[in-house]
Amino acid sequence: MTFTPKLAMLMTAAALCAAPGATRSLANEVNIYTYREARLIQPLFAAFTKDTGIKVNVISASSGLEQRIKTEGANSPADVLLTVDISRLEDAVQNGITQPLGSKAVDEVVGAAYRDPEGHWAAVALRARVVYASKERVKQDAITYEELADAKWKGKICIRSGQHMYNNALFAAMVAKHGEAKAEEWLKGLKANLAQKPSGGDRETARDIAAGKCDLGIGNTYYWALMNDREADKKPWADATKVILPTFAGGGTHVNVSGVALMKNAPNKASAIKFIEWMVSPAAQQMHADLNYEYPIRAGVPVNKTIAGYGALKQDALPLSQIAANRKKASALVDKVGFDN
């Protein structure tokens, strides 16, 4: 079942106030805390229940789940944290609310670059941070992230806040690859090329390109596909833009993840492991591709045709753990250069 955040919080609070000795573990159930939008993931939960007979209970929120689980402590009903971006997965680890998955089935599917070195989280799908470009004004079909700081793009780039987790991960990758000093110079160059103050989200970046406010923008792969395929009011923004898969100089395209972590005090651990393993199964991976426009983490699963239209993804080899390790440095550099000012 899926609860609204307010209802879910009330029901969880009621459960935690139950009589001493009341069990938090219910046969054939799994409790998932998630930041994912319900409309995007409910079909996955329904399919999992159909395949396994395990009921899925969901608590969703837009922020604060890690802190909440930590506060709930040993009485937390949370079995799995399902989220996006390396930042939130790493925050869960740093808050001490996770435990190693210990699943050979997951390790066989998910490459080491997309798993926590200690096994506390694993990716279930990939998304790339790419360039949206004006079809009319940008003729080139290839670009590097480093080139975004080239003065030829002065006044021509739109982007959301540099402190947003999607950009933080990209900037952290730049720190990991080039060091703080060079990453700082790159950020200064990128800031100098902005057409306007960082604002909005990735959809608004495409909107502003379509309106002629800028020629290039940075966004995630799936937003463009959603605008093109499912959001009729935003289809003109997709029609006016194209997606370029940028690469690091000498490397590949920066990718982030949708991922899962097993909670430290999971009362339904066996069901949680089954859910996590199911999420990397061929059937679930095809759903990630077609419902959420993400790149499957499992080799051999076809990419959605709209996403495939961007061209072949050559993901960068930098392990996500190295990106996570440089998040604070990247955030500090954003403030140092006044990127969002």
The answer, yes or no, to whether residue 201 has pLDDT greater than 90, is yes
Indicate the SS3 state at residue 56. strand
Q: Is 136 helix (H, G, I), strand (E, B) or coil?
A: coil
Same domain, 145 and 238: yes
Question: Which pLDDT score is estimated for 297?
Answer: 97
Same domain, 165 and 74: no
Instruction: Identify the pLDDT of residue 115.
Output: 95
Residues 170 and 319 in one domain: yes
Domain membership flag for residue 164: yes
Mean pLDDT in the chain? 92
Residue 238 lies in a domain: yes
Are residues 74 and 136 both part of a single domain?
A: no
Q: Are residues 174 and 298 in the same domain?
A: no
Residue 341: inside a domain, yes or no?
no
- The boundaries of the domain holding residue 324 are 127-254+313-336
Residue 322 and residue 201 share a domain? yes
Same domain, 160 and 110: no
What pLDDT sits at residue 25? 54
Q: Does 78 share its domain with 213?
A: no
pLDDT, position 26: 59
Identity of the amino acid at 1: M
Same domain, 207 and 332: yes
Q: CA-CA distance, 240 to 227, in Å (whole number)?
A: 11
Query: Is 43 contained in some domain?
Result: yes
Quick one: average pLDDT of 145-159? 98
In which band, very low, low, confident or very high, does the pLDDT at 259 lie, cut at 50, 70 and 90? very high
Q: Assess if residue 308 is contained within a domain.
A: no
Q: Say what the pTM is.
A: 0.90
Per-residue pLDDT, 1: 37
Identify the residue with better confidence: 271 or 17: 271
Inter-residue contact 207 to 234 (CB < 8 Å) = yes
185 plus 238 within the same structural domain: yes
Report yes or no on 279 lying in a domain. Answer: yes
**Segment 113-135 mean pLDDT:** 97
Of residues 1 and 279, more confidence is placed in 279
3-state secondary structure of 302: coil
Average pLDDT over residues 166-171: 98
Mean per-residue pLDDT, 25-36 = 86
Could you tell me if 280 and 297 are in contact, meaning their C-beta atoms sit under 8 angstroms apart? yes
Q: Is residue 247 part of a domain?
A: yes
pLDDT at 276 over 50: yes
Asked whether the predicted pLDDT for residue 174 surpasses 70, the reply is: yes
Q: What percent of the chain has pLDDT over 70?
A: 92
- At 39 the pLDDT is 79
User: What gap in Å lies between CA 312 and CA 245, rounded to an integer?
Assistant: 8
Give me the phi and psi of 193, to 5 degrees please.
-95, 0
Say if 237 falls within a structural domain: yes
142 and 29 co-located in one domain = no
Question: Confidence band (pLDDT; 50, 70, 90) for 38?
Answer: confident
- On the question of pLDDT at 166 being above 70, the answer is yes
Spatial separation of the C-alpha atoms in residues 39 and 202, rounded to whole Å: 19
Angle at 94 between CA 92 and CA 100, to 5 degrees: 65
**CATH number of the CATH domain containing 68:** 3.40.190.10
* pLDDT reported for residue 16: 37
Please check the confidence at residue 229 and state whether its pLDDT lies above 60: yes
Sign of CA dihedral 272, 273, 274, 280: positive
- Residue 12, pLDDT > 80, answer no
140 has a pLDDT exceeding 60: yes
Given a cut of 70, whether residue 17 has pLDDT beyond it is no
- Total domains in the chain come to 2
Shared domain for 89 and 168, answered yes or no, is: no
